Amino acid sequence: MSTRKSKSTLTSLLEISQRDSARAQPFYCDDEVFDLDMQKIVTGKWLLVDHVSRIPESGQFFLYEVGRESIIVIRENELKINAFFNVCRHRGSLICLEKQGMRTRLTCPYHSWTYSLDGSLKAARFMPQDFKPEEHSLHRCHIRIHHGFIFLNLSPGEEPEFDQEFAVFEPHLAFHGFTQAKIAHKQSYPTHANWKLVVENFFECYHCTSAHPEYCSRHIPEALIAIGAGPNSGPADAVEAFAPVLEAWEQQASKMGRPLGAVDDDEHSRHMKFYQQRPHRSDIKSETQDGQPVACLMGECTAFDYGRMHLSYSPFNQIIACNDFATLIVFTPRSAMLTDVDITWLVNGRAESVDVDRMIWMWDITTRQDQVITENNQRGITSSKYQPGPLSDQERRMDTFNKWYLNQLAI
C-alpha cells in the first residue's frame, strides 16, 4: 500500500470509528485495513511464536508465517537461535519450503545460493569478481528468548525495547518453570476470520455458558462471570461478589509459594499486557478431562493449589498454566479473513509420562468451538445488514481491546 493511500485509508477508518466503533464492517473485511494492521500494529509488536524445546538441536528450524512474511527460526548452536526473513538475497525466492526440518546449510532451491546457520552467504556460483558475499547475508528478524519462549519482532532498524516492558512477569514465569519446560503436544486450528474477531472472542466470556460447556465445567460459575476474561472484565457487582472467594484462595496459594499480583493494561498501553490468577472449582486440581493431574508439577510448584495462571504479552498470545501443564495459544494474522490459531501444550522438562488426551481435552474442544463461532461471526459481518450492536457488561475487556486497537492505528 502506498504511503498516500495508507494515510487516506487510515483517515477514513478513524472517521468511521468516531461515528460508529472499532467494530464497523471494514475493520474485519478489507484488505487495505489488514495491510494497515500489519504496518501499524503487528510489525511493531513482540510476537510470541513458540518454545525453544521445539528446536533442541543445531540445524533444526521452523517457519513462522505472518501476513505476507515468512520467517526462518533456526538453532545455530546450543546457545543461539537465529531468525531470518525467508527470502534469498539473489532474486527473492523462498529458501525453506517445508514448515519445519533440519539443515546444516540453508540452500535456496532456485539457484543454490547457500547460507550458513548464522545467515552469512557461503556459496553463490558464477558471480562477477567484484561480488562481495558479506554484503548479501540473509535479512535478520529481531529475536528474543524469554523464559524459554521465542519472540520475534519484524520492525526495521534497531531492536525495540523488551526487558523493561515485560519485567513485571518475571516472578510468575519463574514460578511455572517455563525455561525448563518441554513441548508435550502441538495442534493447529486455522480460522477463517479476521484476527480481531479471534482476539475479541478470547477477550470475553459472555459466550462461555452458551458455547463452551466443557470449559465451564472446570471452573467456578461466578468466576467466569466476574473475571472470566481478566480482572474486572465482568459486571461490577459480580466482581465485588466474587472478591472474597478470590481473596481466600489467594491467601492459601500464597502460603504454598505462588507469587500473586495482577496486570491489566488499558487502551493507552503499548502491548496491552495482561496477567491474572484465579481458582478452579474446589474439586479440580488441573484443567483436564477428569480434573486430575496429567504430569508432574512444573517449576517451583510444590503441591496442587487448585488454581491457574493466565498471562498475555500482547493480544496475539495467551499462556494459561495449571500446576502440572501449561497451554500456549498463539493468534497469527495471515490475511483479512484468515488467522492461524496454534496451541502448544508444555510440561516439566523432566516429566517421564504425560496423558496427552486428558491434557488437551478442554482446550482442544474449546478451540474447535471457538473456530466455528468465530467463522460464523465473520460470515455474518460480511452481510450488507451488519451493524455493530451494544456490548454487555461482560464484554468490558473486549471494549478495551477495541479502543487499544484504534489508538494503535492512530500512532
Residue range(s) defining the domain that contains residue 123 = 47-153
Q: Which helix (H) or strand (E) holds 38?
A: helix 31-40
User: Is 331 strand, coil or helix?
Assistant: strand
Q: Which residues contact 170 (CB under 8 A, 6 or more apart)?
A: none
Structural contact between residues 54 and 182, judged by C-beta atoms closer than 8 angstroms = no
Assess whether pLDDT exceeds 80 at residue 234. Answer: yes
DSSP letter (8 states) at residue 140 = B
Q: What is the pLDDT of residues 25-39, one digit of tens each?
A: 999 999 999 999 999
57 within some domain: yes
Q: Which residue did the predictor score with more confidence, 21 or 334?
A: 334
163 within some domain: no
Please tell me the number of Cα atoms within 13 Å of 341 on its side-chain side: 29
Examine the fold and report which residue of 97, 122, 153 is the final residue of a domain before the chain moves on.
Answer: 153
How far is C-alpha 380 from the chain's CA centre?
A: 25
The pLDDT assigned to 85 comes to 98
Work out how many domains the chain is built from and give that number: 2
Q: Are residues 294 and 394 in the same domain?
A: yes
Please tell me the number of Cα atoms within 13 Å of 101 on its side-chain side: 10
Assess whether pLDDT exceeds 80 at residue 183. Answer: yes
Categorize the per-residue pLDDT at 230 as very low, low, confident or very high, splitting at 50, 70 and 90. Answer: confident
User: Is 13 strand, coil or helix?
Assistant: helix
Structural contact between residues 264 and 279, judged by C-beta atoms closer than 8 angstroms = no
Mean pLDDT across 298-310: 96
CATH code at position 198: 3.90.380.10
- What does R_g of the chain's alpha carbons equal in angstroms? 22
* Range name among 9-13, 66-70, 78-82, 169-173 with the lowest pLDDT average: 9-13
Q: Are residues 253 and 380 in the same domain?
A: yes
Q: Are residues 149 and 186 in the same domain?
A: no
69 within some domain: yes
Assess whether pLDDT exceeds 90 at residue 171. Answer: yes
* Residue corresponding to grid cell 508432574: 296
Grid cell of 260 as nine digits: 500473586
Distance CA 165, CA 269 (A): 10
Mean pLDDT rounded to a whole number for the chain:
94
Q: Which residues contact 80 (CB under 8 A, 6 or more apart)?
A: none
Q: Are residues 271 and 374 in the same domain?
A: yes
Q: Are residues 339 and 306 in the same domain?
A: yes
The values of phi and psi at residue 317, to 5°, are -150, 150
